Amino acid sequence: MLRGALLAIALIATLTASCGIIKSPRDLSGPAEDGGASSASSPCDQSGDDFAGDVGLARCLTEWFWSRQFQQSGQTYRPITRFVAYQGENGPDCGGQPAVPNNAFYCPAGHFVAFDETWLRAMYDQMGDGAVYVIIPHELGHAVQDQLVNDFRFNIQRELQADCYAGAALSGLVQAKYLRTEEGDSDELLTSLAEAGDPTDAWFAPDAHGTPAQRQNFFATGFDQGAAVC
């Protein structure tokens, strides 16, 4: 618990030092392959100026990040096949299981991500755009797991690693200057993680995701140390 608190503080310090998340990248020059400056434009068309833009930007940039990570390790990232917004109970099924309201999920059967648009928009309106940049990268973290390793003994291990992957992706995109931080973003990110945490530490439960402190801990670990530690 103490380590989680310290890592959360480190994350806050990192974001605060950057003077503030997340808006569209500049107009945009991205990093060159050798790490130097580049005149290349952003890999994404979305502006991130509103809810729809932030959702699209979070998906596009997170997949760009993982494509680069896989490439650097001599592998090829397989992009998701669909990115589905649904309403309430009208979502796509996954392997015969129906979508449920107030949720976002990765479906390994179809290699796609889906989210309840009304639910996510409400979180966006109440907590800020940080909610989008936690939830979408988290679900795409499951898509990464499906391509690398999928033999977790407990569900909580799968979920906390996806939080770590989300933190690593966000940090990498900030460092690459494809995202920039804004005042209050650390609070948005940590609040979003806390809201999604389990009320107890029943780590053995089949649907366990981790307590608020655990989720903040793993996200912050990925943010501070990168994907390799996840």
Q: Please, what are the averages of pLDDT over each run of 10 residues along the chain (230 residues)?
A: 35 34 35 33 82 95 97 96 96 94 94 96 88 93 92 88 95 90 60 57 65 87 94
pLDDT reported for residue 20: 30
pLDDT at position 200 is 55
What is the rounded radius of gyration, in angstroms, for the C-alpha atoms of the chain? 17
Alpha-carbon span 25 to 41, nearest angstrom: 10
Task: Enumerate long-range contacts of 147-154, CB under 8 Å, 24 or more apart.
Answer: 147/70, 147/77, 147/78, 150/108, 154/203, 154/204, 154/208
Would you state the pLDDT for residue 114?
Answer: 97
Give the torsion through C-alpha atoms of 51, 167, 158, 148, to 10 deg: 100
Per the listing, tokens 């400056």 go with 37
Q: What does the pLDDT read at residue 151?
A: 81
The predicted structure's pLDDT at residue 213: 83
What pLDDT is attached to residue 201? 62
Quote the pLDDT of residue 187.
Answer: 57
- For the entire predicted model, the pTM comes to 0.79
Task: Indicate the domain borders of the chain.
Answer: 2-229
Instruction: Quote the CA–CA distance of 230 and 225 in Å, as a whole number.
Output: 9
